[in-house]
Amino acid sequence: MEKNVILAFSDFAMRKNLIWFFSTHRQKGIYARTLLLPRSDFPVHMNHEERVKMDEQISTACNVDDLYKWQWNQNKPTFVLHDGPPYANGDVHLGHAVNKILKDIFARYKAMSGFRVHFRPGWDCHGLPVELLAIKSMDENSRRDPILVRKRAKEFALKAVQSQMDSFKKWAIMADWKNPYLTLDKEYEGKELEIFKILHQHGLVYRAYRPVYWSPSSRTALAESELEYVTNHCTEAVYFKYSVVNFPKKILALQPTDRIWALVWTTMPWTLAFNNAICFGKKLVYILAKIKSEYYIFAMDAIDRLRNLLKLEIEVKSTFQGSFLSGLYYACPMQPDHALPFYSAEHVTSAKGTGLVHTSFAHGFEDFAVAVEHGEEVKCFVDEDGRYMRELGPDLGGLQVQTEGQAAVLEKFKKYILTKENVTQSYPYDWRTKQPVIVRSSKQWFIDTEQLKKAALDQLNDVNFYPANFAQSFKEVLARRPAWCISRQRVWGVPVPIFYDPETNEPIESNSLLENTVRLIQQHGSDIWWHSQAGDFAVDDTTMKLCKSDEILDIWFDSGVSWAAALDEQRKSSADLIVEGMDQLRGWFQSLLLTSVAVEQRSPYKNVLLHGFVLDEQGHKMSKSVGNVITPDAVISGQGEIGSKQIPAVGVDGLRLWVAQCAADRTHIPVGPQSLLTVKQTLGQLRSTLCFLLGVLNDFDCSNDSVEYDRLLVVDKYMLHVLAEFQNSMKSAYESFSALEAVTRAVQFSNGSVSKFYCTTVKDRLYCDRAESLKRRSAQTVLHEVQTAFTSAVAPLLPYLAEEVHFYRNGKLGSFVFQKGWYDCPQQWTDKTLSDRMDPLLKARGRFLADYGKQNTYKFSICINDVSLKENIALLWSNSADAVVELADLFRVGQLQIGYNTNDNEFDVASVQHPLCSRCRRYICQRERDLCQLPAAYSNSVGEERQPVQVGFLNCTYRHCDIYWLSDQNNPVLYCTIPPRGFVNVRSYAFHKWIFRDHGTFERLRCQYYTRAPRFVPPFVFILHPDLSLLRRCVEVVVDQINAGRIQRDDIPGQYLKLIEKTTSRKIFFQSDVDNTAVKLEKLEH
């Protein structure tokens, strides 16, 4: 039979040491156990080992290969993201991370929002970087064998592809990793040569002798896109004089013996050895000036520059238009037997130099154009290594033109140098070897871009650029583009499939021969070009003795045909999106466009997203020698230091967040300990908000506990309106390909709308209300929607975080967030009327918090006086009592009133005149150390042997709590525990029949008692439990207190002593007893 023990004691217990019995110490926050505080194991912060381990678990469960396959098999419209191929020549760097993560963000968004995404990753496997790596690893004899070089280069390329692919998958990049495209695949090479054949047949490919950028360090021609301009290139500028042979001296009254010099200026003195002409501007004003005893011709605008440089007096003898120089000739010391001409040219200006331009037909693009215009012969005397040829004589032959050769030229002709100066200028370098290039004329294969520019520019009118200002920049670069040199003098690449006549060295124009060559390479791969003889490609006897080309196609042509070679069946329309760095305005964007327009007369892409380049936090390029290199692995796991600062570990999501925050919409992308620390803090803020949401939803089952929209509180409905607007803004950011806007809106919503606004507003409801009260469930319903929608919104940015949240909410780890798709808020939530009515109240709230927010605002009460505010309140709440409750929470004050009168003040603020409630921490109690008011709720009869008992709820002024309060007429009694599940219904049983079903321990009961209402200890406290031994221990402690003299006989009223005496057989001794007689107490069997 259940044993019930009644322990009785009076208010003296609160003043005596019995307080010590129930609570050994006055615990801090003793009411926390009575509150429904957030409970979640979701970690806000992790050390780097935990973060790496969690990332690996999520990566395994959310396999990107499986996710890509799943989404691709959906019956949905296709979104094509065309991947620009990175070079397969080494490990990944942060530039790779920027590019691939930006692509993945928008690919994931599209996959969630109703599309299946075609994202086939690619690699550019040919070209000089890979070939140089291969050659470096080979001995001298092997390097001369193109077959061995190609074999080793292929090995390097495939190894780099696998290494980079592993890293990309580690970063959660969702792509078709099982089917990448490689430019070394024979299928790809075959498609590439098909495009070449079409262009050749359309007359767009031709061979010509003309100037090209030439890299002596690479021994090959370069396209504009293969250059990088070094802005601090230092060179020697020379003022060089040539003797004019037929200047009309009589007109200017000069003596026949007076010598007249044409003064030119050049920043490439090594080309003085090949001077062919002097160019002038016919619209410029020139002068004949006397410097010391000699006469010089130069532009009027150059006189001040020369005075400052020479520190000499310059006397102007005559001025004339540039056209006066037409028909004049001069003597060149390099060619003393020839008189060379003055030519008018549009490119001549007087902004720099002397207004007279030294011209070398073989070593300048404008120079070459002048030669063509005037029918001059062009000869080049610089070889592939960038050295003077032996035709220049023993003094110069074999010397490197930019170094020792230039010095030799200046020494040999020093008497013709008026003066020199050092200048710093922007100069093109080989982007691979980082060495300066030269302009050198040679026979190369070109694509005639002049025939394609207009059509290409017209197609760009239908292409969107992000940022938009790059559209015009791209058009301007494209409009200025010269002919595209597509031949390279290397071996690792796709061969130029052309044969030459061995006698004339001219190409053979034969469509059948070209088609047969392309067919064989498609079948066997490009290695057949080096393994076979020319005759193996012949189609008849006339082609048996031809010579094969020893050149390969430009790698920009390789990647430029990827729209045809990689997209396969997706070629039915242009790619929806391409994403690359800003440097591709001169590279891949152009090669894609020109080849597509040439073959299909359309742009290969619809949208172009550009990003910047990664630098350190001081704006410097990363360099191992400087020690400022940060790798993606270092960002993820926090390895290494920069300077004296440790690189913080931010995990995969931190790397992705850095890309979204720092890499979008910037020309230069900073990375370093400080910027990564900012990322870590931002990620911590997002995780903190999500941790709170998971914590307060720990007892919420959306299928059973959700509250219908019409029953939600006004503030809750408003929060759903805010959530719907946020979700729409995130969708807009993703649709406009702005990762920065997306992450900015996400952080603002998390920190502002959710954390600072809504969570602080409903926190009291969540903590203090009954678990299943309407108000609490209303807030939880909204927070559930916030958590679901927010997780969906940030999933493209932070996929691991999204799945981690799903795991802690639902206990399942996998790609569930993405398979559920984008969370679209119901249209009902968007309530403009509600928002307009709430807006004045929120502005008033903002003004109040601006003035009082640094203080404990619950110490204040507010009386709203403003008429418009009261009108909005009346429109929003039909019940003024509900309005007062919600508005008090909204303003975060102890009390709020709606004033009956109006005055000039929007609202009046006063101090609350009530003591603090130690449970809800609000100033709303009636007496010091009280809890909130306890209004009766309903009546109930609990048995014939007792008086009727009123049953109510402990109530914090506005909300109901789960502590039962009983009153027996005027003798209040507190039943001090929260009934667990299975507790017998209070309406059905007499008081003494109340029992627990879970058999909790007395230790928990006594803690529950004292953490609920120590100020409301009534004359009788009933603690019920079936374990009599535990209850006996309770009374024994009372005996110990009495025996220790801490409680005197006079402290215990007689009627309570009798009850105590019946609870134990132990003797109680009172120090005041004269005879020290023990009082024997018996057990109460009741």
Of 441, 297, 300, 284, whose CA–CA distance to 347 is shortest? Answer: 284
870-879 pLDDT, tens per residue? 888 989 998 8
Same domain, 413 and 449: no
Highest mean pLDDT among 153-167, 423-437, 973-987: 153-167
Percent pLDDT > 90 in the chain is 49
The answer to whether 80 and 118 have CB atoms below 8 angstroms apart is: yes
Please tell me the least confidently modeled range out of 100-109, 216-225, 845-854: 216-225
Q: Where does a domain end: 822, 855, 875?
A: 822
Please tell me the least confidently modeled range out of 7-11, 633-637, 796-800, 1028-1032: 7-11
Q: How confident is the model at residue 143 (pLDDT cuts 50, 70, 90)?
A: confident
Asked, for residue 638, whether it belongs to a domain, the answer is: no
Asked, for residue 219, whether it belongs to a domain, the answer is: no
pLDDT number for residue 929: 60
pLDDT mean over 362-371 = 92
Residue 940 has pLDDT above 70, yes or no: no
pLDDT number for residue 953: 28
Same domain, 778 and 683: yes
**Can you tell me the distance from the alpha carbon of 610 to that of 584, in angstroms, rounded to the nearest whole number?**
9
Greater pLDDT, 345 or 960: 345
Residue 155 has pLDDT above 80, yes or no: yes
pLDDT number for residue 179: 94
Please tell me the least confidently modeled range out of 31-40, 516-525, 555-564: 31-40
DSSP 232-288: EEEEEEEEEEEEESS--TGGGT--TT--EEEEEEES-GGGGGG--EEEE-TTSEEEE
**3-state SS assignment for residue 123:** strand
Q: How many CB atoms lie within 10 A of CB 258?
A: 14
Q: How confident is the model at residue 1056 (pLDDT cuts 50, 70, 90)?
A: very low
898-913 pLDDT, tens per residue? 887 777 788 888 888 7
Mean pLDDT of the chain: 81
Asked, for residue 637, whether it belongs to a domain, the answer is: no
**Can you tell me the distance from the alpha carbon of 359 to that of 262, in angstroms, rounded to the nearest whole number?**
13
Q: In terms of pTM, does the model score above 0.75?
A: yes
pLDDT mean over 915-921 = 72
Kindly report the three-state secondary structure assignment for every residue of 628-653: CCCCHHHHHHCCCEECCEECCCCHHH
Residue 52 has pLDDT above 60, yes or no: yes
Same domain, 262 and 381: yes
Residue 712 has pLDDT above 50, yes or no: yes
pLDDT number for residue 958: 29
Tally of structural domains, the chain:
6
Q: How confident is the model at residue 880 (pLDDT cuts 50, 70, 90)?
A: confident
pLDDT mean over 656-677 = 84
The answer to whether 190 and 559 have CB atoms below 8 angstroms apart is: no
Asked, for residue 788, whether it belongs to a domain, the answer is: yes
Asked, for residue 629, whether it belongs to a domain, the answer is: no
pLDDT number for residue 119: 96
Partners of 343 in the β-ladder:
279
Same domain, 548 and 579: no
Q: Where does a domain end: 770, 788, 822?
A: 822
Q: Is the link from the previous residue into 129 a cis peptide, with omega within 30 of 0?
A: no
DSSP 431-476: TTT--B-EEEEEEEEEE-GGGTHHHHHHHGGG-EEESTTHHHHHHH
Residues 6+ apart with CB under 8 A from 394: none
* Helices 714-735 and 94-112: angle between axes, nearest 10 degrees: 120
CATH number at residue 110: 3.40.50.620
716-761 pLDDT, tens per residue? 999 999 999 999 999 999 999 999 999 999 999 999 999 999 999 9
Greater pLDDT, 463 or 1013: 463
Residue 519 has pLDDT above 80, yes or no: yes
Please tell me the least confidently modeled range out of 623-637, 788-802, 944-958: 944-958
pLDDT number for residue 682: 94
Residue 945 has pLDDT above 70, yes or no: no
Q: What is the domain extent for residue 847?
A: 833-911
Asked, for residue 433, whether it belongs to a domain, the answer is: no
Partners of 668 in the β-ladder:
613
Same domain, 785 and 841: no
Q: Where does a domain end: 520, 554, 588?
A: 554
pLDDT number for residue 1037: 52
pLDDT number for residue 664: 65
Instruction: Measure the CA angle with vertex 856, ends 854 and 862; round to 5°.
Output: 100
**Can you tell me the distance from the alpha carbon of 686 to that of 186, in angstroms, rounded to the nearest whole number?**
48
Q: How far is CA 729 from CA 543, 723, 793, in A?
A: 66, 10, 10
Residue 1037, token pair as written in the block? 């402690």
377-396 pLDDT, tens per residue? 999 999 999 999 988 888 89
Same domain, 949 and 1069: yes
Q: How confident is the model at residue 416 (pLDDT cuts 50, 70, 90)?
A: very high
Residue 179, token pair as written in the block? 């089917």
Same domain, 1086 and 1031: yes
DSSP 196-230: HHHHHHTT-EEEEEEEEEEETTTTEEE-GGGEEEE
pLDDT number for residue 1015: 35
Same domain, 883 and 942: no
CATH number at residue 696: 1.10.730.20
Same domain, 539 and 572: no
Asked, for residue 195, whether it belongs to a domain, the answer is: no
**3-state SS assignment for residue 506:** coil
Same domain, 1044 and 942: yes
**Can you tell me the distance from the alpha carbon of 176 to that of 164, in angstroms, rounded to the nearest whole number?**
14
**Can you tell me the distance from the alpha carbon of 1024 to that of 372, in angstroms, rounded to the nearest whole number?**
110
Asked, for residue 633, whether it belongs to a domain, the answer is: no
Q: Which helix (H) or strand (E) holds 799?
A: helix 799-810
pLDDT number for residue 435: 92
Residue 1010, token pair as written in the block? 């004292």
Same domain, 941 and 1062: yes
Long-range CB contacts (within 8 A, 24+) of 137-146: 146/491, 146/530
Q: How confident is the model at residue 14 (pLDDT cuts 50, 70, 90)?
A: very low
pLDDT number for residue 1040: 56
Please tell me the least confidently modeled range out of 9-23, 115-129, 209-223: 9-23
**Can you tell me the distance from the alpha carbon of 438 to that of 392, in angstroms, rounded to the nearest whole number?**
18
Same domain, 498 and 582: no
pLDDT mean over 586-606 = 94
Exposure of 72 in the CB half-sphere (CA atoms within 13 A) = 18
Q: How many CB atoms lie within 10 A of CB 519?
A: 15
pLDDT number for residue 829: 95
Residue 463 has pLDDT above 80, yes or no: yes
**Can you tell me the distance from the alpha carbon of 819 to that of 799, in angstroms, rounded to the nearest whole number?**
12
pLDDT number for residue 936: 27
